[in-house]
Amino acid sequence: MALINNEGEPISRWWISKAINIIKTDREIFSSQNMRRARIEFIAGKNRLSTIKGWMLAAQLIRNGKSSKEFELTDFGLSLTNNDPELNKSSTWWAFHLATCFSTSSEPYRSFFICLDTLSKDWISSKQHFEKIQSTLQKDNAETYKESTLESLISSVRRMFVDNRPLADLGLIEISKIREEGICVRLGSPKLTDVCVIHALAMLRFHQLKSRSTVTFSELMAIGLANFLCSRPEDLRLQLRRMHQSQQWQNYFSFNEAVNNDSLAFADGCDPKQTLLLLLQQGEDTWL
């Protein structure tokens, strides 16, 4: 888990923007030899440098280069700097969120969403949420993480959705303090545009279903698509049906209805490189 080394902190818009710009020309900025210079560049201590690197890896913005001390921008990182260098667009942060959800090294971010209810979007206490995430991670990874470490990581994820953090104003997560339960969370109700759905489908296909041309709606729900999009399953089903009827999306997917067995067929355009540019260049403003 890349986030296992993030020292339990969320990341800021400025840190991500700064890291993208530095790594363009200095691939070894996170190496131990360059720690003094990195602390000056990021105005951060050693632990916060781990935070920055952990989130950048988890969101698939960077990857290892020729050696373990080198990092390079991914296509995603390059696309962000080319299309939104100041990282001000809501579509940029939708892309960041979805990249983290479908990353292989972003736990417990993915499970944070998977373990929230999509049907009624009921509140869940942070204690119950922690227990569900812990159980999910043990089941999926057959590993046991130290409770204090996992609590710190979950806290860092939760704090990405409050105050002035970059994901706070998308409305993905709602957080409240309820007298008897303490801090509680639930899925929010963000403005879910068609292009966000298209990019989510492309990411799901690339990361989970590379060898598949079709997938049932129930499989999409089991993978967590509704959770990642913060949508009720039936609302998402209706949106896919509507999009299927539009010529605009015919190059990306088709939605086939059958009794208790709706399915989706991927088309050639359902590729994350194409849908990412669509999202970044044509995505509408969804800030709350």
Whether residue 170 is predicted with pLDDT greater than 90 in this model: the reply is yes
Give exposure, 29-63, as e/b (b: 16+ Cβ within 10 Å). Answer: bbbeeeeeebeebbebeeebbbbbbbbbbbbbbbe
Q: Which of 6-15, 86-95, 115-124, 160-169 has the lowest mean pLDDT?
A: 6-15
The answer to the question of residue 159 being in a domain is yes
Whether residue 203 is predicted with pLDDT greater than 90 in this model: the reply is yes
Coil vs helix vs strand at 215? strand
The answer to the question of residue 137 being in a domain is yes
Query: Where a domain ends, among 136, 168, 187?
Result: 187
Quick check: 103 and 59 in contact, CB under 8 A? Answer: yes
What is the chain's mean pLDDT, rounded?
Answer: 94
Whether residue 95 is predicted with pLDDT greater than 90 in this model: the reply is yes
* pLDDT at residue 3, as a whole number: 74
The answer to the question of residue 42 being in a domain is yes
* pLDDT at residue 139, as a whole number: 83
Q: Which two tokens stand for residue 280?
A: 């970044």
The answer to the question of residue 229 being in a domain is yes
Domain identity same for 177 and 200: no
Domain identity same for 173 and 209: no
Dihedral sign (CA 36, 38, 40, 45): negative
The answer to the question of residue 96 being in a domain is no
- The CATH number of whichever domain residue 210 belongs to comes to 1.10.10
Domain identity same for 119 and 161: yes
Domain identity same for 181 and 252: no
Query: Where a domain ends, among 58, 88, 118?
Result: 88
CA 277/CA 164 separation, integer angstroms: 26
Dihedral sign (CA 201, 203, 204, 208): positive
| Cβ neighbours around 212 below 10 Å, total | 11
The DSSP bridge partners found for residue 63 are 72
Burial of 262 (0-12, 13-18, 19+ CB in 10 A): middle
Whether residue 66 is predicted with pLDDT greater than 90 in this model: the reply is no
Whether residue 140 is predicted with pLDDT greater than 80 in this model: the reply is no
Q: Which of 37-41, 73-77, 136-140 has the lowest mean pLDDT?
A: 136-140
More confident of the two residues 247 and 258: 247
Domain identity same for 114 and 148: yes
Whether residue 282 is predicted with pLDDT greater than 70 in this model: the reply is yes
* pLDDT at residue 6, as a whole number: 62
Domain identity same for 199 and 277: yes
CA distance to 9, 94, 98, per residue, from 53 (Å): 11, 20, 18
Domain coverage including residue 258 = 194-282
Domain identity same for 77 and 119: no
Average of per-residue pLDDT across 188-216: 97
Query: Where a domain ends, among 187, 213, 232?
Result: 187
Domain identity same for 181 and 231: no
Domain identity same for 114 and 168: yes
Average of per-residue pLDDT across 65-82: 93
Q: Model confidence at 2, in pLDDT bands (50, 70, 90)?
A: low
Whether residue 78 is predicted with pLDDT greater than 90 in this model: the reply is yes
The answer to the question of residue 142 being in a domain is yes
* pLDDT at residue 261, as a whole number: 87
The answer to the question of residue 95 being in a domain is no
CA 81/CA 213 separation, integer angstroms: 32
Whether residue 146 is predicted with pLDDT greater than 90 in this model: the reply is no
Average of per-residue pLDDT across 173-188: 94
Q: What is the DSSP string of 229-274?
A: TT--HHHHHHHHHHHHTSGGGTTTEEEE--TT--EEEE-TT--HHH
pTM over 0.85? The answer is: yes
Whether residue 258 is predicted with pLDDT greater than 90 in this model: the reply is no
Going by C-alpha positions, the residue among 187, 182, 186, 175 that lies closest to residue 124 is 186
Domain identity same for 147 and 182: yes
* pLDDT at residue 236, as a whole number: 98
Distance of CA 27 to the CA centre of its chain: 24
Whether residue 39 is predicted with pLDDT greater than 90 in this model: the reply is yes
* pLDDT at residue 5, as a whole number: 65
The answer to the question of residue 99 being in a domain is no
Average of per-residue pLDDT across 59-79: 93
Domain identity same for 199 and 276: yes
Domains of the chain: total = 3
Q: Which of 47-51, 268-272, 279-283 has the lowest mean pLDDT?
A: 47-51
Q: Which residue has the tokens 């009794």?
A: 259
Q: Model confidence at 1, in pLDDT bands (50, 70, 90)?
A: low
Domain identity same for 152 and 204: no
* pLDDT at residue 194, as a whole number: 98
* pLDDT at residue 143, as a whole number: 64
